[in-house]
Structure 1
């Protein structure tokens, strides 16, 4: 596991584990709503949202850290990720996380 991979995974885990930030909670809700709007899950749970979050390519995580998940550019990247992996996401299959930045 590379140094970069380890730092990005820690960034993901720290973000997901943050229960005190209202911004993080709002963004988790945004991700949940996106999954529902895009038809991935009929009623996405927190576990469904966590699964989705951990499938996101690192470029989306880094951009969202800087701009927020609800930024138009980041949302476009989310939709592209969903469209590319729609069937796998609906099945909650394991996806290889892309770490290229």
Structure 2
């Protein structure tokens, strides 16, 4: 990679790490460990999932959905707190 390409990559990474950065479905999918399609078809319609932001561009066309990084991080934190390290349903205690 050229120094210019490395600089551009670093700029893009820094922009996505800002708390108020707008992330696309691919970025959110990388954070959640799933596909972009799963983000838009499943997570985005789940009650409590952060609302998507759709910007209006030239000609009145709306952009693809984007989410604030801080909102996604808060949602992840709210859905991981208090969970046991072991998944699944609780087991009956032996008498």
Shorter chain as denominator, the TM-score bin is 0.3 to 0.5
Structure (1 or 2) with the greater strand fraction: 2
Structure having the higher Rg:
2
TM-score normalised per structure 2: 0.36
